[in-house]
Chain A
Amino acid sequence: MKKFLALFLALSMMLGCVALASADELPVITIMFHGSNVTDDSAVLEKVNEYIADKVGAKLEVIWGTWGDFDQKAADALMSADETVDMVFTCSWSANEYNTYAKNGYFVKLDDLIAEHGAELVAAIPASLMQAATIEGAEGMGIYAVNGYKDFATQNCWDVNVTLLNELGYTLDQVKEMSFYDFGELFAKAKEVKGDSFYPFLVEPMVLERMVTNSIIVAGDAGSTNLLSLYMNPADVSADGAYGNVLLNKFATPEYKAFVEKMHEYYEAGYVNPALAVAETSNDTRTNTQLKAEYLIGTQSYALGYEYTASAERGIEVAFIPCTDPYVDTTASQGAMVAINSASNYPVESFKFLALLNSDPYLMTLLNYGVEGIHYTKNADGLIEFTEKRADYTPWTNGMGNVTILPDTAAEGAGFRKSFVEYYGGAKAIPSLGFVFDNTSVANEMAALGNVAAQYALALDAGAVDPATELPAFLAALDAAGMQTYLDAANAQLEAYLAK
């Protein structure tokens, strides 16, 4: 009996192992996306494969990477030269960072393929995005990934709870005239009206710092806690900032000092929720409090049309007051791309597919929104309304490529994609667009500095600690960890880049 049992178990396992060989002649190309929430893609892929069989000459399979597991999966697939993964999402902020991986030869150089099969792609993607993807890779200067036309301009805004603001007797126009340093009056009033347990200032501390000091992220800088700042000109984002095109230790500037001192004042006055100063609870607290509309002013990196979504889901009137015009920097312009794995057996088919995906509205809609009649329906105005089935098929819209060819949804309103193109297409580039700091020569310093910054920066930015004592200690610790070496390396590279 036991023998039979063992035999049965062994057999059942072998059955699990045997992958049935497909009798289909078309090659299978596989693409790995980021940030998806997809549990059932069968209906979509069936339609996609019907459609691309002639146009691309291949069958598509998709690996739906999620926010949490994409980094590991993508790095494994690329580093192990896994030929079963043909195309991989890449960008400036994921583990398979575009510039590094292109330099190390993990991505196929696309220039020849673009010349041969990419006419439609070139027509669909703005030249500035092609430019942003042109970098020094393993096979010389060129394009190593198809850059998606998404919300690639950055605009940091004050997120204002207008409903509460009016309740307090202020108008939006009054707030527009104010700066971060004048908000105290509003907060005091809010505290007075809403009681002691109400925290009017709901911030992402790191974003707030950039908003107040008008500094921007430098691509290639230490990941979650940035060390370098490039100060921009808030009046004209395409002009040089107050310090010119020089990278600075962001924690050593007078702007930073003034910011953290004021922030500490706000914190001490009880305007900021202490949970925001703790890395583990910061994001959860922010999301929850936002949804409950229990704030007066917050920070938000803007995306076009977000005020409508935000107002609807929070049940209040939300307005976003921009700190600067939208600007295009390296990080955001390399925000979502798809590269072809250099181990792929079908680079030509893969490229044809990417070109089609980014230029053909039918295919993009199908892969992004699902199948009409199953995942969405069109209402009388021709706008898309999602059905319940959409919950099983929710890819990350902006991570897929050219989203400007998508139809408008009912939630976004008619004409959304048109204004999308106007808004992002009209965004100005910062002077050093395209510069990526290659940190390999100072990787050790960066790791050490990142640890120091992780210890101090969030608490300082949130105002939880006294800058009079903590800021000097922080700066001393940064110096000891090699901040100057790090800065010098970065500035030398920036100079060389701008000289070109």
Chain B
Amino acid sequence: MIAHSVKRRRHADLNSFSARTQAVFHLVLGLFSLLCVIPFIFVVIISFTSEESIRQIGYSFVPQSFSVQAYEYVFDLGDALWRSYFNSFYITILGTVLSVIICVLYAYPLFRKDFKYRNFFNYMSFITMIFGGGLVPTFVICKSVLGLSDNYAALIVPLLFNPFNIIVMRTFFQTSVPMELIEAATIDGSGEYSTLVRIVVPIVKPGIATVALLNALAFWNEWFLSLLYLNKNMDIMPLQYLLMRMQRNADFLAKNSSIIGVDAALAARELPSQSLKMALVVFIVLPIACAYPFFQRYVVAGLTVGSVKG
């Protein structure tokens, strides 16, 4: 009895730290978390800073004066803003759903050892991670051959298939779905599709959440595809590109003002202010920041859930 309790205490000791170590850990992790949120807090503060203050003392955590002018301007953008906001959501949601479906359907056979052409398809996806076609050939294929220009598909299709995610998904299958389970399902008379949808997918939900998060981030942050493939139909422009375009305009005019002369000075005046850019960043970050905790629940759950107990 005594021996047992001693053993238990030692066991408890092994899993706990001294108060001092705890304090150090808390401090280090606390500082780290702070470092993660500070840039965002800074952006929020700048977005509420008055232009006058930015001109006088630059970016600062304690501006001379606050203003909501940038947000007023953002709301005045009206249609353009809400449309691009809608586009961003549309592209992200549709793109994520489709890319996750593709990812699961591609990764599942790669995990099944009884699939004959497993190595071939494995290689096919893996090789695209190492060798790319280059920008111009990719552009030609997408635009001329596949007709991806000035439509939503141009902003979704190029990102649908991601070999890295497929490897993540395949590994997840391998570690969490035992072959015995699939064999058992087959013996019970389940077809391949039914096995995948009813047995396997529920087990790998955390993996799917991970891949979905990666995909959602990729779609949400994407602006380069819009730059490449949107020429005439600017109505389907996502929010990221709206912001990126302002940034690129400012950069270009700054770099070339001495050559373009007065026209550049006149154009530069039309550009949005610093605080407006930050206000747009807030608009861009908010939805994805809200989505994170939701996905995180699944990701954390994935660490503790398994299909074969005991």
Contact = CB atoms under 8 A, between A and B. Distances in A.
Contacts of B245: 66, 68-69
Contact of A19 (B151, B252, B267): B151
A460 to B, nearest CB: 15
Given A67-B253, A67-B267, A301-B258, A73 B231 contact: yes
A3 to B, nearest CB: 10
B65 interface: no
A82 B143 contact: yes
Given A13-B153, A35-B267, A93 B147 contact: no
Q: Give the interface size bracket for A toward B.
A: 35 or more
Given A67-B252, A68-B249, A72-B227, A82 B144 contact: yes
Contacts of A69: 227, 245, 248
A30 B194 CA distance: 51
B94 A13 contact: yes
Contacts of A79: 136
A100 interface: no
Interface string A28-41: 00001001010100
Interface residues of B, number: 52
Contacts of B232: 61-63
Nearest to B228: A76
Contacts of B147: 17, 19
Contacts of A279: 254
A264 B67 CA distance: 37
Interface in A281-324: 282-285, 287-288, 290-292, 300-303, 306, 309, 313
A397 B101 CA distance: 49
A204 B257 contact: yes
A398 B265 CA distance: 14
A282 B254 contact: yes
Nearest to A38: B234
A280 to B, nearest CB: 8
Interface string A258-296: 000000000000000000000110111101101110000
Contacts of A12: 94
B183 interface: no
Contacts of B140: 80-82
A331 interface: yes
A184 B253 CA distance: 30
A217 B259 contact: yes
Nearest to B256: A93
A68 B263 contact: no
Nearest to A313: B269
A306 B262 contact: yes
B128 interface: no
Contact of A68 (B149, B248, B266, B274): B248
B98 interface: yes
Nearest to A2: B197
A260 B138 CA distance: 48
A90 B153 CA distance: 30
A17 B153 contact: yes
Contacts of A285: 55
A9 B139 contact: no
- Interface majority SS (helix, strand, loop, mixed), chain B: helix
A6 B262 contact: no
Interface in A81-100: 81-85, 93
Contact of A303 (B101, B234, B252, B263): B263
B198 interface: no
Interface string B132-148: 00011001100110011
B251 interface: yes
A17 B252 contact: no
Interface string A202-218: 00101100000000010
A306 B101 CA distance: 59
B284 interface: no
Contacts of B94: 9, 12-13
B263 A396 contact: yes
Nearest to A65: B231
Q: Which of B135, B139, B265 has the most CB of A within 10 A?
A: B265
B143 A302 contact: no
The 8 A-B pairs with the shortest beta carbon distances in the complex, nearest first, are A68-B248, A301-B261, A283-B254, A303-B262, A16-B152, A68-B249, A17-B153, A67-B249
Given A66-B249, A68-B247, 13 more contacts: A9-B97, A9-B98, A19-B147, A35-B267, A63-B232, A66-B248, A67-B252, A73-B227, A279-B254, A283-B253, A283-B268, A290-B265, A302-B261
24 contacts: A13-B94, A13-B98, A13-B152, A16-B151, A17-B147, A17-B152, A19-B151, A39-B234, A67-B249, A68-B244, A68-B249, A69-B248, A76-B228, A80-B144, A93-B259, A283-B253, A283-B257, A284-B274, A290-B265, A291-B269, A292-B55, A301-B258, A303-B261, A306-B262
Interface of B: 55, 80, 94, 97-98, 101, 135-136, 139-140, 143-144, 147-153, 156, 227-228, 231-232, 234, 244-263, 265-270, 274
Interface of A: 6, 9-10, 12-13, 16-17, 19, 32, 35, 37, 39, 61-64, 66-69, 71-73, 76, 79-85, 93, 151, 154, 204, 206-207, 217, 224, 279-280, 282-285, 287-288, 290-292, 300-303, 306, 309, 313, 331, 396-398
